[in-house]
Every structure is written in C-alpha cells, then in structure tokens.
Amino acid sequence: MNSLIDESVIQNMKDDLGKDTCHKLIGLFIEETRLLLVDLEHAFEVMDLAVIENATHILKNSAMLYGATSVAINAKEINDRLCSPRKIINNTDKQLLALIRTTLKAYNSKYNNAV
Amino acid sequence: MPTTSKKTLVYIVEDSLSSGALYSSQLEKAGYETKHFVDGYSALAAIKEIMPSVIIQDVCLPDISGLNVLQFVNRQKSPARVIIITSNSSIDVAVDAMRLGGFDFIEKPFSRERMITSVQDAVKQINLESIESKKVKTEVLSVPEISFIGESLAMKTVFRLLDSALRSKASVFVTGESGTGKEVCAQYLHSFSARKEAPLIAINCAAIPGELFESEFFGHMKGSFSGAVADRKGAVEAANGGTLFLDEICEMDLNLQAKLLRFLQTGTFTRVGSTNVIQSDVRVVCATNRHPAAEVGEGRFREDLYYRLNVIPIQLPPLRERGDDILLLANSILTDKNQENEKGFGQFSSDVQSMFMKYDWPGNIRELQNIIENMVVIHSGDEITLDMLPENFAQSGLNITFQNTFSHHRVNNHSNNHSNSHSNYNSNSHLNNDAHTEEGDHRYEIKDIIPMWLVEKNAIEKAIEICDGNIPLAAAHLGVSASTIYRKIKSW
C-alpha cells in the first residue's frame, strides 16, 4: 500500500512547511481527490469525456505534488489522449477509479489524523 | 505597485484547491502574502479591487481562459507580473501567453524552488523598474548606444516584438542570416531591461570545443579534470541576474542540450566535479542562422528545448529585403566611420546608392559595414564614389543586377582577362536570376543551373584561395564569421 505514496514528497513537504500545515494540505488533497473520484465514476458510466478530461487534468498535477505518483501517471496518460484531436478513451482507463480508491485508502490510513 | 500590507501580495489562480493551497503555503513560508482563486472571474474581481505584485496564473480554468486574465491585467495602469503555469500539453498556449506579455512560464508539476525563484525575479524586476522610473529622464535617454535603424515594415515588427519582450523574462529565439544583427538584439534586450545592471554573457556555441562546453557553461571545481587548476564559474553562474546570450545555438551538442533544458526547467545546475546545486536567474536569448524547426526535424536539435527557447521568436530580415533601410544604415555607418577615422565624407554618390540598393548583400549589415569602413579608411574626400568600392565587393557581386549596373560604370575599363577570371561567378549570377537569359550566342537552360550550395562553396573556396588559406580573413571579406566557414567546410 505504501508504494502508492511517495514518502519523500511528503517528507519534503513536512520539512518545508511543518507537520501541521502538511497534514492540513493532505486533508485538502484527500477531499479534492474524493470529489474528483465521484465525478469520474459518473463520467465513466455515461462516457462524459469532457468531465474525464477536466478531472484527469487536475489530478495529473495535484497527485504528483502530493506524492500519489501512480495516480498522477495514470491520469496524465488518459488526459494526454483526451487532449489529442482524436480523444481516445480505452476500456482499461476505468482502472484509474480503482487506483484512486486504493490510493485514498492508503492516504486515509496513513494520515487519518489529517481528515 | 499597490499592495495591502508590507508583504508582497501574490495571487494564485489555479482550479485545483489542493495544488493552489500548496503553492500558497510555500509562498507564505517564503514571506509573501497570498490569495488563492479557483476560477478566472473571482480572480478578475479581486484584481479590479487590488492589483497584486505577482499573479501565478493557470491557463486552463473552469470558466475563462487564463490568457483572458493575463490580457486584462496587462491593460491596467500598473499591471502585475504574471507567471503562467501550464501542463506539458498546453505549451503552445504558454507561448501565446508570453507573447501577450506574461513574465515567465512554468510547466506543471514544478518544484517549490522554481516557483519561488520566478516570483523573486518578478518582484526584483518591479523594484528595479520603480527605481529606474524615479531617475531623471536624461539618464534614461542616454543609456546604451545600442539602437536599431530601420523603417521597413519587417523591422517595425521586430521592434514591436523586442519592446514587448523587454518586460518579460521569457526566452527569445532570434533567427536570421549571418550579419543581420542577432547579437545586437541580445544587447538591446539586455540593456533596456531591468537586468541591465547585471552582466550580459555571450557564448558562441560553435566556437567552444564539445569537451569544454559543460565547463564553460556551468563552471568546474578544481581537479575535476586535467587542466582544472582552480574553481571556476561558468557562464550560467556569471550571468546570474542578467542575460545569457547563446549564439549559434543549433551547434550545441545533443548531450549538452539536455543539460541546458534541465537548467531552464529548474533554474539550478551543478558545476563539473561538484554535487552542490546552484541557482542562477538568467534570461536566455539565443540565436542561429539556421532554421531551428528544420534542425528539430533532422534530429539535431531537441524538440523540447526548441519549444522552451522559442517563446518569443524574432526573425531578422536579410538586408536585401529591407528596402530603403539599406541607405539609412549606410548613412549611419558612414557617420560612425567618419568619426572613428577623422574623415569628412558627407554622402554616397547616386551611383553608389543605386548599387547598394540593387546588390544582394549576402553578408548583410556586417558586409555593408566592412565595405564602408574599407572605403573610409583608404580614401578621402566629400563623397563616396564608385571607384572607391573595394575590389572584393566587385568580385563577390554575384547577382545580375549588380553586374549590369557595375558593367556600365566600371567593368568596361577592365581587361578581358579580369572578366574571364571570374567567369564562374558571372555565369552563376546570371543563372540565379533567369534560367533563360541570353548572353551572346549562348542560351542558358535549366540544366545550366548551379545548385546554391555549390555557388556558395565556390565563393568560399575562392575567397580562401585569395586570402592564401587564411580562413578568418576570408570570412571577414565574405562578411560571415569564421565559424560559419568552418561549419560549411565540414558539411561539404
């Protein structure tokens, strides 16, 4: 589960901003990602590509900033395809939802004080 | 620049709540006051009320484009410096943003250091401009003597681009033939910017051997390689706070291109033989006489570096396409050369003026300068006349218009032998202008056309031969740099 979180990113954040601020920020990240997950679940059901594009656009950056590297890479991969003129979406892209759920679980478990 | 408190106010316009909050925390830790907006309209409303010093502006927003916010800001009386933040996929938009007057752009995701360095640079520029504006006007007018002369449409476009680039830190990519004034562009951008008190460091990428380039660029530590007898700062470090001019950028080794790209992305580097990370704030201006996009296509220049550098592209027109600018420049150069050499030429004769207007100027302004200097140094009088033109100018007059004009005034007085000795050039010149020009009994046809590279090769080889193998001298007479000649020879 820990491989879902790049601990060095979190540690740098703690060193730079202090533990309290860091936990507060991670709380925001968890909350934002949870809302994006809800949007994405619905969007994948109805294949609303615009919503998927917007949500992955936010995630590819925010997840990278908060050390959720796997989510960031996956979101970027989908977003790059959706930004191309052909707007390609694959069946396997839905796996992002499961990855976000597992990652959120990992963040909640590790930083449950923050939420 | 209005602020609500002693701390510098920074607005962050970023649609991700968690990303914006992180930027805010990092900036507040660094001593700034921040406000975060998740959409464009909220930001516009706040900007109308209080203009901050710096805005960190995302391009993709849920309501309006970040470019609309940028345009709005730059229409205000005391606009904030706008740092565009963008993801890789919207790099083209970022390029447009810089053209609209953005101060810097940073690709997401970025490091804390990169963001804070950019904000610091923006604040530094605001402070410098504030100090400058308080100085007396006469000082401002007398600053550098670097000025462009030109009234042609092409040059007016160049001036407009240069002036809009002055306020920004964005990289400028100057292209144009040899001798069109690329280095002057770099001097202008430096001397009239807020960076003018810091150094302008110029590096000719074609003139530094590959194995020394990294050291020249990033510096080295004592003992890091044989010959490194002391610690030494590289150009990037020396130019801190100022401008780094990279001439003939397309000659840079691919390996070094990767290192330059990394420096441009992070603003940090390490000296050769050291692990210490050093920060340097430089504005990069680069130049080439090649077609950079073609170099990218050929795989000789990294595409990502090209887009990173080509934020504000400036294309300098060749002299032959500048119409009446030729005479404006010639008169200005004549005045300068008169002063330098204590001569009193007042003007060019109408024949010389006519020839100047018809000549092709392959060496551009540098060639024009050389020819005028040659005449001023060697001759005396009130007027520059045809007979004062240097011999090599006649010999390199490769185009038909020049040949025709010249023949009326001068060639008739020369021996036939002289004419024959340059038959190669003469035939080329005719063919370049008209594939079916008749001369005497011979009618030229398509098969007679000589490829341009061969014409150039012949001209260069002839010049080297005339100069007894002295390439720098030949280059000077041809109106190009010696490195250009070396590069051409290598390519044959």
Write down all domains in chain A, each with its CATH number in brackets: 18-109 (1.20.120.160)
Q: For B18, which of A16, A28, A54 is closest by C-beta distance?
A: A28
Q: How far apart are CA B274 and CA B469, in angstroms?
A: 43
Check whether residue B157 and residue B242 sit in a common domain: yes
pLDDT at B30: 92
C-beta atoms of A58 and B15 within 8 A: yes
| Per-residue pLDDT of chain B in tens (492 residues, 90 and over written 9) | 444 447 899 999 999 999 999 999 999 999 999 999 999 999 999 998 899 999 999 988 888 888 889 988 988 878 899 998 887 555 567 667 777 788 888 888 888 988 998 999 888 878 776 665 544 333 333 334 445 788 888 888 888 888 888 878 889 999 999 889 998 899 999 988 888 888 999 988 887 777 788 888 899 888 877 777 788 888 999 999 899 999 999 988 888 899 899 998 888 899 999 888 898 999 999 999 988 888 888 888 999 999 889 988 999 999 999 988 999 999 999 999 999 888 899 999 998 998 889 888 988 998 899 899 989 998 999 999 988 988 767 555 544 344 443 333 333 333 333 333 333 333 333 333 433 444 445 567 776 777 787 888 888 888 888 887 877 778 778 877 777 787 788 777
Q: What is the CATH number of the domain that holds B324?
A: 1.10.8.60
Q: Say if B147 is an interface residue toward chain A (CB within 8 Å).
A: no
Check whether residue B63 and residue B79 sit in a common domain: yes
Q: What is the pTM of this model?
A: 0.51
Q: What 3-state class would DSSP assign to B480?
A: coil
Q: Which residues of A touch B22 (CB under 8 A)?
A: 13, 25, 65-66
Q: Is residue B20 part of a domain?
A: yes
Q: How far apart are CA B2 and CA A103, in angstroms?
A: 43
Check whether residue B301 and residue B159 sit in a common domain: yes
* Nearest of B67, B31, B34 to residue B50 by alpha carbon: B34
Q: Is residue B282 part of a domain?
A: yes
Check whether residue B178 and residue B240 sit in a common domain: yes
Pairing of strands B278-279, B232-233: unpaired
Q: Specify the number of domains making up chain B.
A: 4
Q: How far apart are CA B93 and CA B248, in angstroms?
A: 27
C-beta atoms of B16 and A32 within 8 A: yes
Q: Is residue B224 part of a domain?
A: yes
Check whether residue B85 and residue B117 sit in a common domain: yes
Place of tokens 């050499």: B341
Check whether residue B266 and residue B183 sit in a common domain: yes
Which residue in A62, A66, A83, A86 has the most chain B C-beta atoms within 10 A of its own C-beta, making it the best mutation to test that interface? A62
Q: Which residues of B touch A62 (CB under 8 A)?
A: 16, 18-19
The residue segments making up the domain with residue B78 are 9-132
Q: How far apart are CA B276 and CA B269, in angstroms?
A: 8
* Nearest of B275, B179, B259, B231 to residue B480 by alpha carbon: B179
CB proximity under 8 Å: A 53-112 to B: 54, 57-58, 60-62, 64-66, 72, 79-80, 83
How many other CB atoms are there within 10 angstroms of residue B271's CB atom? 24
pLDDT at B115: 92
ipTM, interface predicted TM-score of the complex: 0.94
Q: Say if B112 is an interface residue toward chain A (CB within 8 Å).
A: yes
Q: Is residue B169 part of a domain?
A: yes
Kindly report the CA angle at A102 between A99 and A105, in degrees rounded to 5? 145
Q: Is residue B444 part of a domain?
A: yes
The two tokens of residue A37 are 């997950």
Check whether residue B113 and residue B203 sit in a common domain: no
Separation in Å, CA of B307 to nearest CA in chain A? 18
Nearest-by-CA chain B residue for A28: B18
C-beta atoms of A32 and B18 within 8 A: yes
Pairing of strands B232-233, B219-220: antiparallel
HSE, side-chain direction, 13 A CA sphere, residue B315: 10
Over pLDDT 90: what percentage of chain A? Answer: 80
Separation in Å, CA of B446 to nearest CA in chain A? 44
Separation in Å, CA of A32 to nearest CA in chain B? 7
The two tokens of residue B236 are 């990037």
Q: B127: left (phi > 0), else alpha (psi -120 to 50), else beta?
A: alpha
Q: Which residues of A touch B87 (CB under 8 A)?
A: 57, 60-61, 79
Q: DSSP readout, B456-474?
A: HHHHHHHHHHHTTT-HHHH
Nearest-by-CA chain B residue for A20: B25
Check whether residue B199 and residue B327 sit in a common domain: no
Q: Which residues of B touch A21 (CB under 8 A)?
A: 25
Q: Is residue B138 part of a domain?
A: no
Separation in Å, CA of B399 to nearest CA in chain A? 48
Q: Which residues of B touch A63 (CB under 8 A)?
A: none
Check whether residue B106 and residue B235 sit in a common domain: no
Check whether residue B128 and residue B147 sit in a common domain: no
* Cross-strand bridge partners of residue B232: B220
Q: Is residue B26 part of a domain?
A: yes
C-beta atoms of B18 and A29 within 8 A: yes
One-letter identity of residue A52: I
CB proximity under 8 Å: B 56-85 to A: 60, 62
C-beta atoms of A28 and B17 within 8 A: yes
Q: Say if A50 is an interface residue toward chain B (CB within 8 Å).
A: no
Using the 3D structure, point to which of B364, B388, B412 is the last residue of a domain.
B388
Check whether residue B330 and residue B447 sit in a common domain: no
Check whether residue B289 and residue B305 sit in a common domain: yes
C-beta atoms of B26 and A16 within 8 A: yes
- Is the pLDDT assigned to residue A7 strictly greater than 80? yes
Separation in Å, CA of B37 to nearest CA in chain A? 15
C-beta atoms of B18 and A16 within 8 A: no
Nearest-by-CA chain A residue for B21: A25
Q: For A25, which of B15, B21, B108 is closest by C-beta distance?
A: B21
Q: Say if A23 is an interface residue toward chain B (CB within 8 Å).
A: no
Q: What 3-state class would DSSP assign to B354?
A: helix
Using the 3D structure, point to which of B347, B366, B388 is the last residue of a domain.
B388
pLDDT at B394: 56
Separation in Å, CA of B110 to nearest CA in chain A? 8
Q: Is residue B4 part of a domain?
A: no
- Is the pLDDT assigned to residue A30 strictly greater than 90? yes
Q: For B108, which of A13, A28, A61 is closest by C-beta distance?
A: A61
Separation in Å, CA of A86 to nearest CA in chain B? 14
Q: For B18, which of A17, A25, A72 is closest by C-beta distance?
A: A25
pLDDT at B94: 65
Q: What is the CATH number of the domain that holds B267?
A: 3.40.50.300
C-beta atoms of A61 and B62 within 8 A: no
Q: For A57, which of B21, B22, B60 is closest by C-beta distance?
A: B60
Separation in Å, CA of A65 to nearest CA in chain B? 7
Using the 3D structure, point to which of B315, B342, B371 is the last residue of a domain.
B315
DSSP character at residue B313: E
